[in-house]
Amino acid sequence: MMKTLFITLFGTFLACSDGGNSSAKYAAADEAGWDDMEEVFVESSPSEELDAKAADTKIIKTADIEFATRDMDATYLRVRKAIAATGGNLQDDNTGKSYNQVYRNLVIRVPSANFETLVDSIGQGVDYFDTKRISRRDVGEEFVDLQARLKAKRKLEERYLQLLSKAKNVKEMLEIERELASIREEIEAKQGRLNYLQSQVSMSTISLRFYKETVEAQVQASFGSKIANALKGGWNGLLTFFIGVLYLWPFLLVVGLAFFIIRSYLKRSKRSANS
Residue 256 lies in a domain: no
Of 170, 201, 232, which one is at a domain's C-terminal end?
201
Residues 116 and 208 in one domain: yes
Q: Is the pLDDT of residue 73 over 90?
A: yes
106-115, 213-222, 234-243, 265-274 — which is least confidently predicted? 213-222
Rounded to two decimals, the pTM is 0.55
pLDDT digits (tens, 9 = 90+) for 90-148: 999 999 988 888 999 999 999 999 999 999 999 988 989 999 999 999 998 998 999 99
Mean pLDDT of the chain: 78
Residue 18 lies in a domain: no
17-31, 49-63, 202-216, 255-269 — which one is most confidently predicted on average?
Answer: 202-216
Q: Return the pLDDT at 236.
A: 81
Q: What is the DSSP letter of 128?
A: -
Residue type at 245 in one-letter notation: V
Residues 64 and 181 in one domain: no
3-state secondary structure of 81: helix
Question: pLDDT band at residue 226, thresholds of 50, 70 and 90?
Answer: confident
Residue type at 199 in one-letter notation: S
Residues 104 and 152 in one domain: no
Residue 7 lies in a domain: no
Residues 111 and 181 in one domain: no
Q: Return the pLDDT at 38.
A: 33
Could you tell me how many helices (H) and strands (E) the chain has, helices first? Answer: 9, 5
Q: Is the pLDDT of residue 268 over 70?
A: yes
Q: Show Cβ contacts of residue 27 under 8 Å, excluding neighbours closer than 6 positions.
A: none
Domain count, the chain: 2
Could you tell me which residues are beta bridge partners of residue 17?
A: none
pLDDT digits (tens, 9 = 90+) for 185-219: 999 999 999 999 999 999 999 999 999 988 654 44
125 φ/ψ sector (left φ>0, alpha ψ -120 to 50, else beta): left
Maximal CA-CA distance, the chain: 165
Residue 116 lies in a domain: yes
Q: Please give the torsion angle defined by the CA atoms of residues 50, 53, 56 and 61, in that order, rounded to the nearest 10 degrees.
A: -30
Residues 192 and 210 in one domain: no
Q: Return the pLDDT at 16.
A: 43
Domain ranges, residue 69: 55-138+203-214
Residue 71 lies in a domain: yes
Q: How far is residue 192's CA from residue 117's CA, in Å, rounded to a whole number?
A: 30
28-42, 68-82, 212-226 — which one is most confidently predicted on average?
Answer: 68-82
Q: CA dist 194 to 29, 46, 213, Å? A: 41, 21, 43
Residues 210 and 128 in one domain: yes
Q: Return the pLDDT at 174.
A: 92
Q: Return the pLDDT at 59.
A: 92
Q: Return the pLDDT at 275.
A: 64
Residues 160 and 88 in one domain: no
Q: Return the pLDDT at 222.
A: 64
Kindly report the length of the chain: 275
Residues 116 and 168 in one domain: no
Residue type at 57 in one-letter notation: T
H or E element: which one contains 213? strand 203-213
Angle at 188 between CA 55 and CA 199, to 5 degrees: 40
